[in-house]
Amino acid sequence: MKNTFAELVETFAVLRGPNGCPWDKKQTHESLIKNMREEAEELIAAIEKKDVENIKEELGDVLLQVLLHAQIAQEEGWFNIDDVIQVLYDKLHRRHPHVFGSHAKAATPEEALAVWKEMKQKERK
């Protein structure tokens, strides 16, 4: 049986909880910056080497960073992982009107990128 995303999210609450890990409980957004950079660089290296197993592991390490930051934010009363997911969902749908909306279809990757950039520019105004 494979574990669920919800179980993984709960793992971070336990790690930072009263009986959790001293290292995890001490972390802040700022203290984790170095870790996020390192994990992103390790993922890039795995992709460049086309090392599939390592890509899988490094994606997990990047996800670890995302979930730990989301847990810290939840403890601060800012937002939780569900809010992060909602923001991403909304952005993907807004920036892909050629897929999810009434915008003319993008026939090429270049056209799709142009639509993405157009939607991003509209959001900033």
CA dist., res. 40 & res. 65, Å (int): 10
pLDDT at 53: 98
What residues does each domain of the chain span? 5-80
Predicted confidence (pLDDT) per residue in 71-110, tens digit:
999 999 999 999 999 999 999 999 999 899 877 788 899 9
Q: For the chain, what's the residue count? A: 125
Predicted confidence (pLDDT) per residue in 55-67, tens digit:
999 999 999 999 9
CATH superfamily of 5-80: MazG-like (1.10.287.1080)
Strands (E), 19-119: none
pLDDT at 70: 98
pLDDT at 111: 92
Structure tokens at 66: 């995302």
pLDDT at 6 over 80: yes
Other Cβ atoms less than 10 A from the Cβ of 97: the count is: 16
pLDDT at 121 over 80: yes
CA angle 79, 15, 38 (to 5 degrees): 75
Q: pTM for the whole thing?
A: 0.90
pLDDT at 104: 75
Structure tokens at 3: 């574990």
Predicted confidence (pLDDT) per residue in 19-54, tens digit:
999 999 999 999 999 999 999 999 999 999 999 999
Long-range contacts, stretch 74-83, CB < 8 angstroms, 24+ apart: 75/16, 81/9
